[in-house]
Amino acid sequence: MTKNQVTPWEVKGNVDYEKLIEEFGIKPMEKLPEVFMKDHFFRRGIIFAQRDFGKIVEAIKKKKKIVMMTGLMPTGKFHLGHVIVAKQMIFYQKLGAKIYIAVADLEAYNARQINLKELRKNAIEQYLMNYAALGLDLKKCDIYFQSARSRDAKKSNAYYTLASNFSRYSTFNEFKAVYGEITPGKMNASLLQAADMFHAQLPEFEGKCEVFIPVGVDQDPHIRLARGMSQKMKDYEFSQIASTYHFFLPGLKNGKMSSSDQMSYIALTDSPKEVETKIKKYAFSGGRDTLEEHKKHGGNPDIDVSFQYLKFLFEPDDKKLDEIEKKYRNGEMTTGELKKITIDKINAFLKEHQKKRELAKKQIEKFLSKP
């Protein structure tokens, strides 16, 4: 299977990826060193575009200090969609990157009617525990809550000061371009988010260094906004942030996988029965209406959610994936058979994962900066 054989933007009709690339200067991935090609996200074009990522590749080659920055919104359940970023954290951690993880609890507090304690609990039980179980070494990460950047006051003061200072270098029109309807809460969240992206480079943290942020392409406006503000900020010495863009893992019904719609996602805490029901009942199929037609004309794996789950997460072997794709496309494999493979793969993964999750439970609290 070659890199661009499947173009998942057809799968997700509401994002015009090509337009994004043309208008906003996002560029296709350039040729990457071998180590990247061992990762199927790169190999299969799931991570498909970038901004300034060349300097990150250079820094990795030269073993320079790099920071991968990411954030999480501590609401809802951790689902398969979240695994896409988690896997990248683990990949880059192994390459020597320091991983910064911002728990956006202040942003969540402003946007939703939840208090900071609940948000904290959810961040730990849903997100951090699953990261650890997936293989992220939390001890080597810098994980923080926006409401409590650090146990070191110098670091906290520097972080919040940076967020405040970004406000001098922004206009309401810039915020409106990103958020549409803008409120004080959203504006404030956006300033904190810019600080999340840039503060690793402050002298109180890592000092000037290369920072990159892997995101879904819908997150690019936030990155553009922060890049723009940072360019006007002459009294800070920042290297511009780099970024990569991946496709979304489609939701079961082939829309967005959303924490607020239970029937759109598979959570990492789902039972085997739940997984089976969800895939059988809800997973959008690229198969034909009748078995006869399917055998005759074949199915369409490009829009088949089960197939996409195998491609994104559960079939790392390209040959096996190719075979499934071929058989499904030419009608040899039925939707039921494809779904069966996917259900088994997901359940085998979840069985192992849920064991690891229990083990991670006990170790986790101490790695966090207490509020």
Kindly list the residues in this chain that would bind a copy of itself in the complex (CB under 8 A): 106, 109-110, 115-116, 146-157, 160-161, 164-165, 167-168, 170-172, 175, 182-185, 187-189, 191-192, 235, 371
Backbone region of residue 16 per phi and psi (left: phi > 0; alpha: psi in -120 to 50; beta: other values): beta
Nearest to a copy of itself of 32, 116 (CB atom): 116
User: HEC string of 28-43?
Assistant: ECCCCCHHHHCCHHHH
Sign of the torsion angle spanned by Cα atoms 210, 79, 252, 107: negative
Nearest to a copy of itself of 146, 342 (CB atom): 146
User: Minimal distance in Å, beta carbon 176 to a copy of itself?
Assistant: 11
Angstrom distances, CA of residue 197 to CA of 26, 56, 102, 119? 18, 15, 9, 21
Nearest to a copy of itself of 164, 363 (CB atom): 164
Give the C-alpha separation, 288 to 298, whole Å: 7
Nearest to a copy of itself of 93, 110 (CB atom): 110
Paired strand residues for 145: 103, 148
Query: What are the tokens at 354?
Result: 């849920």
Q: Is the CB of residue 353 less than 8 Å from the CB of residue 133?
A: yes
Nearest to a copy of itself of 93, 161 (CB atom): 161
Angle 117-150-70 from CA coordinates, rounded to 5°: 80
User: Minimal distance in Å, beta carbon 105 to a copy of itself?
Assistant: 9
Nearest to a copy of itself of 15, 148 (CB atom): 148
Nearest to a copy of itself of 174, 337 (CB atom): 174
User: Minimal distance in Å, beta carbon 223 to a copy of itself?
Assistant: 18
User: Minimal distance in Å, beta carbon 195 to a copy of itself?
Assistant: 10
User: Minimal distance in Å, beta carbon 150 to a copy of itself?
Assistant: 6
Paired strand residues for 70: 101
Give the C-alpha separation, 291 to 306, whole Å: 18
Burial of 139 (0-12, 13-18, 19+ CB in 10 A): exposed
For the chain, what is the radius of gyration of the CA atoms? 21
Q: Token pair 């939701």 is at which residue?
A: 251
User: Minimal distance in Å, beta carbon 185 to a copy of itself?
Assistant: 5
H or E stretch covering 130? helix 129-134
Nearest to a copy of itself of 19, 232 (CB atom): 232
**Coil, strand or helix at 88:** helix
Query: What are the tokens at 199?
Result: 């503060």
Nearest to a copy of itself of 42, 144 (CB atom): 144
Give the C-alpha separation, 338 to 330, whole Å: 13
User: Minimal distance in Å, beta carbon 106 to a copy of itself?
Assistant: 5
User: Minimal distance in Å, beta carbon 88 to a copy of itself?
Assistant: 28
User: Minimal distance in Å, beta carbon 206 to a copy of itself?
Assistant: 18
